[in-house]
A and B are shown apart, each in its own frame.
Chain A
Amino acid sequence: MQNIIDVKNLSFSYPDGTVVFKNIDLTVSDGESVGIIGPNGAGKSTLLMLLDGLIDTHNGQIIISGMPMNKKHIPGIREKIGFLFQDPDDQIFMPTVFDNVAFGLANKNISEEDIKEKVTRILNYIGLPNHEKRLANHLSFGQRKLVSLASVLVMEPDIFLLDEPTSNLDRRERRIIIEFISKLEGQAKIIISHDYDALQQLCSKIIIMGDNQILYSGDKKVLSDDAFLNKCKL
């Protein structure tokens, strides 16, 4: 299998001097599903932003789908990647549900009819039928999370970067989201989560981040190894 995400020797610090990680390596192969766990502030969200080319200064090598991360390839890389942000309020920036879900499609110059059809289909699919005209700011947190997910799913990306997809959801919404993610079988996924049960269901590989590095990378059996998790401050 080919590596769709290939990260070598990646180091990153925020401009204010906060060192996030040093010399980390990471590979994800086509169709593989990787879970990332780690204590708060370990740099999990930062890693995903780097993979989507949203933070542009770093040391090391990032190759997505054969394209090295640089100015020339960033638009192409972003087209391959669907990024669900940790906080849906960062991702919802248009008045209506329709506008939010259609935003990415409109940027791709797809025809109006196709966009309408795709948005309607995806909203039905995630269980928010006839919500097109609703104001996004009137939705509950879980519904906003679903809308964010819809706006990512609708782009049909090859790679999903999902930052805490199940946090703050009620039992039913959580189950719905897990179900959608598990149906994405052909695509590669990186899922950040503190929800070990979800990772157990969704991932084949687990990566543990902490102390500015990758502490573990391997089988998901680690999720039930309490002694090791404690050692990783989890």
Chain B
Amino acid sequence: MHHSFWDKHSHINSIIHRLDCRVKIIVFTLLLLAIVTTPGQDLIRFLLFGTVIMLIIFLSRLPLIYVLKRSLIVIPFVLLIAFFIIFFNGTEVVSSFNIGRFKINVYREGLLVFQNVLCKSWLSVLCLLILAESTEFNYLLKGLEKLRFPRIMILVISFFYRYVFILIDQLDRMRHAVESRGFKAKLARRIKILGSMIGWLFISTYDRAERVYMAMLSRGFTGHIHSFRKFKIGQTDIIFSLVLLSLILYIRIGVF
């Protein structure tokens, strides 16, 4: 495997990394909840949440550029889902332009929905990224287990984590194989080839995932998560969560 695991920064030593992961999970979940329940037009609140998140990144000593870059992966999905709403949803026209013979309207309501989806998804992804990047994966899973998270969900997450990398790995191998054979073709043929490649990708990933699972079984895996990190809620955990939670609460319901 030549890609990086997503908790590759989990060994940094920072206050955020040292927090008990149950505290972290709860605080980040509440932050996420506060963000997604904020009304879409409240740009100021989103800005403040963004500032809090930046502060957490700063405290966690995670490389800022890296986190921001990774958080951008949501943008294509947001665009795909919400971009066209701008032109179709609403009554109040803010501006309009012509493409050929068609008149295109930009609606105010549509813009609001777009802004809403964009802010919320981007900030949420940032939250999740910080949580995942600052916590050793097994420790995170064990934390979920301690918080009585359903066992089946924990297993799904843990396999997702392993298999996503197998998928990427397999994709890499395939890309190299294709490139090394000088893949050039007309568009139609290209699309056809790409289609069968994607099919192959899923089949081969499935087979490898199965072998990885066998390798886990052969070393006595029974579905239990093991982490060596201790669970202990100390002073720092309490102070950190109190400060952050009051900040979150203030931003969410304060008057601006």
Contacts and interface: CB of A to CB of B under 8 A. Distances in A.
B11 interface: yes
A136 B4 CA distance: 10
A95 B3 contact: no
Main secondary structure of the interface of A (DSSP, over half): helix
A90 B215 contact: yes
Interface in B125-143: 137-138
Interface of A: 49, 52, 54, 75, 78-79, 81, 83, 85, 87, 89-93, 95, 99, 103-104, 106-108, 112, 115, 133, 135-137, 151-152, 155
B137 to A, nearest CB: 7
Q: 9 closest Cβ contacts across the A-B interface?
A: A104-B219, A106-B226, A107-B220, A137-B1, A90-B211, A95-B5, A54-B214, A83-B218, A91-B215
12 contacts: A49-B214, A78-B217, A78-B219, A79-B220, A103-B216, A106-B226, A107-B222, A108-B220, A115-B228, A137-B4, A155-B219, A155-B220
A87 B221 CA distance: 19
Residue from B138, B211, B216, B219 whose CB has the most chain A CB atoms within 10 Å:
B219
Given A52-B218, A83-B218, A90-B215, A107 B224 contact: yes
Interface string B207-238: 01001101111111110101010000000000
B70 interface: no
A81 B1 contact: no
Given A85-B211, A107-B224, A92 B218 contact: no
Interface string B1-35: 11111011001000000000000000000000000
B219 A133 contact: no
A95 B137 contact: yes
Interface string B157-171: 000001000000100
Given A85-B211, A106-B226, A136 B1 contact: yes
Nearest to B5: A95
Given A79-B220, A83-B218, A90 B228 contact: no
Given A99-B138, A135-B4, A78 B220 contact: yes
Nearest to A107: B220
A99 to B, nearest CB: 7
Given A106-B226, A136-B1, 20 more contacts: A52-B214, A54-B214, A79-B220, A83-B215, A87-B211, A89-B169, A90-B208, A91-B215, A92-B1, A93-B212, A93-B215, A95-B8, A103-B219, A104-B219, A104-B220, A107-B226, A135-B4, A135-B8, A151-B219, A152-B219
Given A107-B224, A112-B228, A81 B218 contact: yes
Contacts of A103: 216, 219, 221
Contact of B218 (A54, A99, A135, A137): A54
Residue from B3, B162, B220, B222 whose CB has the most chain A CB atoms within 10 Å:
B220
Contacts of A135: 4-5, 8
A87 B226 CA distance: 25
Contact of B1 (A83, A89, A151): A89
A89 B224 CA distance: 22
Contacts of B2: 137
B31 to A, nearest CB: 26
Contacts of B222: 75, 107
Contacts of A52: 214, 218
A88 to B, nearest CB: 10
Contacts of A112: 228
